[in-house]
């Protein structure tokens, strides 16, 4: 295999991601996944214990990639506001660059396997968000509100905008900046 060709495992994961994103989990049969990947159906079981294991692996990969991207851009350097803005923009950029991954993640979050998901990766993202909140609250810049509430004001509008983008809505940079401003305003202590 040449360096620019994806591995068999990667091809299977991407095929499953595309099928689920487009048509849901019921459409992602092992035969359909293998056909989409251009492989024999039995090949799937050489790389994954089950179709469910494949689905969890896809979600884990999406979340791990997102977490690594966001974490790299939001380390402890910079003000809390700057880190918040980078965090929001990092998620936006990652999912805007791969709307299929976003659609898969949305479907997976409503699927029974979501409770089995990449808990460690998901917890890493939540822990990273909690650290941003904790730092902001310690600095007197973020409202003394439970982090679950503050996360809702971060993720819900962002996900709504991403969903609308997936449906064809084109957001201007000014609108994205306004959304980030509004999200930060929901967190910050007003002067």
Average pLDDT over the chain, rounded to an integer: 90
Q: Is the pLDDT of residue 126 over 90?
A: no
Query: Domain span at residue 8?
Result: 1-48
Contact 155, 122 (CB under 8 A): no
Q: Is the pLDDT of residue 128 over 80?
A: yes
One domain for residues 73 and 149 = yes
Mark which of 33, 48, 63 sits at the end of a domain: 48
One domain for residues 87 and 22 = no
One domain for residues 44 and 92 = no
CA distance 110 to 118: 14
| Residue 130: strand, helix, or coil | helix
Mean of pLDDT values over 113-126: 71
DSSP letter assigned to residue 25: G
CA distance 72 to 34: 34
Q: What pTM does this model have? A: 0.86
pLDDT at 121: 65
One domain for residues 137 and 173 = yes
Mean of pLDDT values over 10-34: 96
CATH number at residue 21: 1.10.10.60
Which pairs count as long-range contacts for 165-171, CB under 8 Å and 24+ apart, including other chains? Answer: 165/96, 165/99, 166/99, 166/102, 166/103
pLDDT at 160: 95
Give tens-digit pLDDT for 160-184: 999 999 999 999 999 999 999 999 9
């Amino acid at each position: 295999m040449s360096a620019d060709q994806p591995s068999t495992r990667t091809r299977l994961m991407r095929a499953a991601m595309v099928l689920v994103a487009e048509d849901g989990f019921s459409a992602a049969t092992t035969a359909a996944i293998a056909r989409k990947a251009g492989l024999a159906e039995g090949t799937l079981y050489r790389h994954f214990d089950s179709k469910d294991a494949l689905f969890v692996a896809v979600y884990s990969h999406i979340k791990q990639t997102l977490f690594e991207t966001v974490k790299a851009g939001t380390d402890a350097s910079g003000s809390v506001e700057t880190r918040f803005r980078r965090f929001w923009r990092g998620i936006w950029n990652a999912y805007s660059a791969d709307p299929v991954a976003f659609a898969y993640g949305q479907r997976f979050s409503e699927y029974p396997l979501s409770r089995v998901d990449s808990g460690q990766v998901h917890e890493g993202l939540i822990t990273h968000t909690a650290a941003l909140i904790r730092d902001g609250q310690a600095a007197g810049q973020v409202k003394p509100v439970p982090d679950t509430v503050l996360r809702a004001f971060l993720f819900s509008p962002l996900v709504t905008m991403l969903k609308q983008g997936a449906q064809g809505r084109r957001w201007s940079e000014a609108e994205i900046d306004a959304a980030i401003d509004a999200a930060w305003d929901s967190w910050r202590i007003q002067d």
